[in-house]
Amino acid sequence: MNRKSIILSAWLLTSAAHAFAQQEVPQESTFLNPERVTIKDGRDSMNITIKGRQGETDFTFSRTVMYPSDEVTVTRERRTHPNFPIPFGINSIKDKEEPFEMKGTRTFVVNGFECVVHRSSDDDINISRKLTSYLANKADSVLHIPAFIEYEGKRYNVSGISKKGFAGNTDIKHLIIDEGVWDIGDEAFICCTNLQSVRIPATAEYIGLNAFGSCPNLKSITVDPANKEFDSRDNCNAIIETKSNTLAVGCSGSSIPSSVTTIRQGAFANCLNMESITIPEGVKQIEDEAFAGCYNLKSISLPQSLEYLGMYVFWNCTSLPSIVIPKNVKEIKHGGLFQGCNQLKSLTVEEGNGRYDSRSACNAIVETATNTLVTACAGTRIVEGIGAIGEEAFTGMPIHSLHLPKTVSKIENYAFYNCEELVSITVDEENPVYSSPAGSNALLTKDGKTLVLGCAGTVFPEGITHIGEGAFWGNRVPMGALSLPEGIKVIGERAFSHCPNLWMLTIPSSVDSIGEYAFSYCPKLNIACLKGGGKMLAYGIFYRCEKLVAIELPQGMESISNIAFSHCTNLYSIGLPSSLQEVGHTAFEDCPCEKEVLQLVQKNKE
């Protein structure tokens, strides 16, 4: 999976969650479009049970409020179709007449804090806050999380900080959490970019993943000495899980104690001010994304005690020039380990490692027993003796040319995903499995019929009948206006997904099968003309092509699968064949042409 938008996604999810809360709908509502839900009496959100039936354009549901007990009305408006199932997001419905439930939670606001009452205890709350300025003393920029809050004459214990509760608040410089708070939710303070210091109370029992992720200015972390679950031993400016000796949260001011054995997932993620770090002897595991997004990290020393490296550990460490993998490392989760490390030219496995090697100075990690190149970098060479290229091995690498020696007999799926700068592909003539006709800049099967990998320099050779699965996924196509040649019969799944420069597409009449998501997520795709494609348009084929304006489908096509054009938010013009009989109920979700398409299909049936 491409992780380039991890932090951005966290920010967007946070914003969406707060926009949701502003509509006074229950926080766990399953409505697909919460902005169209209105609570007519304007009361706080509460635990509710809704009973309703489907069949009208405007849905009106009565709800019985469990806390306190009275009745209000919820109206939901949505452009719809009589065969749409409801409610959206509920998987337990067996019949459209059947009652259904929508979960909710009672909330209120006190002193700028949004408070959510626990279902298990009417005396405990979690708190959070919108993305607005709210600090009483802007000069100090101190956020004080209180131990209790009073509301309508009742005292509530603040037991936790909600997931993403304070995400993105740039006012906070110093954080103090009172004794009594025991739960700090996942991503609770993610993207608090001005946060400098944190004090963790003795009562804290849970600190979620990325609770302080993407806080680049965080330098001081202190855990109360009385805390039994966590500590900040040796004045390390980090949070250590005491029993497991796991470093859970680090920052640019951290030093890793020698007693630490594990660095937890995301522990140092997006420490933008960290330029170098030494991981001491004793550390055995570094988990997923531990140093992801440390853009200024120029030097890291890994210990001989290290045995395990997770996925995306060094994702987007764009300043890292070299790294040595110690000889005792026994397991590397290969996916995207150095993705986005554009300056990484030297990648070496220390001699004596029983599992991996970097033979012939190839600047890669090779699994010795299988001769599989599992992790590459910008300086990698595929040398003789390598038998396979592992899944996602070159993902996101800034490579310009690729040459396969005769020994490579297997290339796993998406080995070269998102190699946007790739323009040249050649294959040794003696390779028994793959070929690359002169000037084609494409990787083909030996018989020349299936294009396995393409790039911006590809010239489609004569005789190809198949475009393989993920052949151009994340890579550039030869020309932004792509016209595939006649003779191609099959286009595989995700063959052109995420192509960054594809803006116009023509598919020839010879094509009789197109795989799922074949052209999905193409950010510039504007116009598509399908002269062929078979009787059924596949699931998700143009999913989230948000700039797609016009498309023409061929005569003979009979059905369009679900989410084929979902979230093509600018699709106004579509040429539909008279042969079209069936359209999946989410095929044109969020498309401006949805109503017209459904009307035409109904007319065709009649």
Q: Indicate the domain borders of the chain.
A: 28-104
Residues 160-175 have pLDDT tens digits of 999 999 998 888 999 9
CA–CA dist 567, 563 (Å, integer): 8
Q: What is the pTM of this model?
A: 0.77
Q: How confident is the model at residue 310 (pLDDT cuts 50, 70, 90)?
A: very high
Q: How, if at all, do strands 372-375 and 365-367 pair?
A: antiparallel
Phi first, then psi, for residue 299 (nearest 5°) are -150, 130
CA–CA dist 52, 178 (Å, integer): 44
Residues 503-532 have pLDDT tens digits of 999 999 999 999 999 999 999 999 999 999
The answer to whether the beta carbons of residues 286 and 260 sit under 8 Å apart is: no
Question: What is the predicted pLDDT for the residue at 108?
Answer: 81
Q: Which residues, at least 6 apart from 115, have a Cβ–Cβ distance to it below 8 Å? A: 107, 108, 109, 125, 126, 127, 149, 151, 156
55-59: average pLDDT? 33
481-483: strand order across its sheet = 481-483, 504-507, 527-530, 550-552, 573-575
Residues 545-594 have pLDDT tens digits of 999 999 999 999 999 999 999 999 999 999 999 899 899 989 999 999 88
Question: What is the predicted pLDDT for the residue at 78?
Answer: 33
pLDDT above 50: residue 303: yes
The answer to whether the beta carbons of residues 428 and 405 sit under 8 Å apart is: yes
- Compute the C-alpha angle 47/92/121, nearest 5°: 25
Single-letter amino acid, residue 534: G
- Which has the closest alpha carbon to 560: 527, 590, 522, 598? 598
Question: What is the predicted pLDDT for the residue at 114?
Answer: 85
CA–CA dist 380, 463 (Å, integer): 32
Q: How, if at all, do strands 450-453 and 466-467 pair?
A: parallel
The answer to whether the beta carbons of residues 307 and 328 sit under 8 Å apart is: yes
pLDDT above 90: residue 18: no
Q: Output the CA–CA distances (angstroms, integers) from residue 399 to 423, 446, 496, in the order listed.
A: 9, 24, 19
Question: What is the predicted pLDDT for the residue at 449?
Answer: 97
Question: What is the predicted pLDDT for the residue at 86?
Answer: 32
Q: Which residues, at least 6 apart from 196, have a Cβ–Cβ distance to it below 8 Å? A: 173, 174, 217, 218, 219, 220
Query: What is the chain's Cα-based Rg?
Result: 28
Q: Which helix (H) or strand (E) holds 505?
A: strand 504-507
582-583: strand order across its sheet = 536-537, 559-560, 582-583
The answer to whether the beta carbons of residues 446 and 470 sit under 8 Å apart is: no
Q: Which residues, at least 6 apart from 154, have a Cβ–Cβ distance to it below 8 Å? A: none
Q: Which residues, at least 6 apart from 486, have a Cβ–Cβ distance to it below 8 Å? A: 508, 509, 510
Residues 414-431 have pLDDT tens digits of 899 999 999 999 999 999
pLDDT above 70: residue 19: no
Residues 459-500 have pLDDT tens digits of 999 999 999 999 999 999 999 999 999 999 999 999 999 999
CA–CA dist 546, 591 (Å, integer): 9
When the pLDDT of each residue in the chain is averaged and rounded to a whole number, the result is 82
Question: What is the predicted pLDDT for the residue at 74?
Answer: 35
390-411: average pLDDT? 95
- Which has the closest alpha carbon to 193: 171, 208, 209, 175? 171
pLDDT above 70: residue 256: yes
Q: Which residues, at least 6 apart from 496, have a Cβ–Cβ distance to it below 8 Å? A: 467, 471, 472, 473, 477, 482, 502, 505, 518, 519, 522
Owner of token pair 């069949």: 55
Of 83 and 110, the structure prediction assigns the larger pLDDT to 110
The answer to whether the beta carbons of residues 140 and 172 sit under 8 Å apart is: no
Question: What is the predicted pLDDT for the residue at 98?
Answer: 33
Question: What is the predicted pLDDT for the residue at 448?
Answer: 96
Residues 405-416 have pLDDT tens digits of 999 999 998 899
Share of the chain above pLDDT 90, in %: 66
Question: What is the predicted pLDDT for the residue at 105?
Answer: 52
Q: How confident is the model at residue 138 (pLDDT cuts 50, 70, 90)?
A: low
The answer to whether the beta carbons of residues 249 and 210 sit under 8 Å apart is: no
Question: What is the predicted pLDDT for the residue at 363?
Answer: 97
CA–CA dist 62, 292 (Å, integer): 48
Task: Quote the tokens at residue 503.
Answer: 């803006």
Single-letter amino acid, residue 276: S
Residues 382-393 have pLDDT tens digits of 999 999 999 999
